[in-house]
Amino acid sequence: MSIKVSAYIATSLDGFIARSDGELDWLNEANATVPDGEDCGFQAFMNTVDTLIMGRKTFEQVLSFGEWPYDRTPVVVLSRNPVSFPPRVPNSVTHSSEPLRDLLKRLSDGGIEHVYVDGGMTIQGFLSEGLIDEVTVTVIPVILGDGIRLFGSIEKDISLAHVQTTVFDFGFVQTTYSVTKDA
């Protein structure tokens, strides 16, 4: 399988991706401080992505944003249960309950070269199976004290190699790491 899998996500300084109830008010407030036209490299990243894989909770959060933000980029929503898609969601959005390795093999066999995984549980699942190649975390200068953590418990250490760090004038710090794979 020759498919690249990347995680790209924002966290609070203390490592939370959302409040305990899933709210992102703190992230919306932080994004309001970002100058017009600045997207912290997200569109450049998305231009390299063939398919986005997200968990059901992340999908439901994205639906709450109003307009579908991923245009026609194929999106796979992971869920053990069937998922119904509202009419405003493009036909490029599908559902899968496949094991992660099987899903990646199917996508790779279909010509997909770069997958973006989003959502805390989804990222944790891919990491625990050794399936993520690169992690980009944008740290937002706020301490929440409690919430949904980006990284949960792991069975063994996951070694990372620093690729780059970008410091934005408005306080965000974005770091990209490659995941060191076992030989």
- Tell me which residue has tokens 């790209």: 8
- So what's the pLDDT on residue 2? 85
What's the average model confidence in pLDDT over 139-155? 93
Residue 83 φ/ψ, nearest 5 degrees: -120, 130
Strands (E), 2-113: 4-12, 16-18, 51-55, 75-78, 93-96
pLDDT at 183 over 80: no
- In tens, the pLDDT along 111-145 reads 999 999 999 999 999 999 999 999 999 999 999 99
3-state secondary structure of 162: strand
- In tens, the pLDDT along 48-102 reads 999 999 999 999 999 988 788 898 899 999 999 988 899 889 999 999 999 999 9
Write out the residue range of the structural domain in which residue 36 sits: 4-179
What domain count does the chain have? 1
Task: Decide if 123 contacts 17 (C-beta within 8 A).
Answer: no
Average pLDDT, the chain: 93
pLDDT at 182 over 80: no
Which pTM value belongs to this model?
0.93
Ramachandran bin of 75, using left for φ above 0, alpha for ψ from -120 to 50, beta for the remaining angles: beta
- So what's the pLDDT on residue 152? 84
Beta-carbon count within 10 A of 29 CB: 11
CATH code of residue 56 = 3.40.430.10
Structure tokens at 75: 């999106």
Task: Decide if 166 contacts 173 (C-beta within 8 A).
Answer: yes
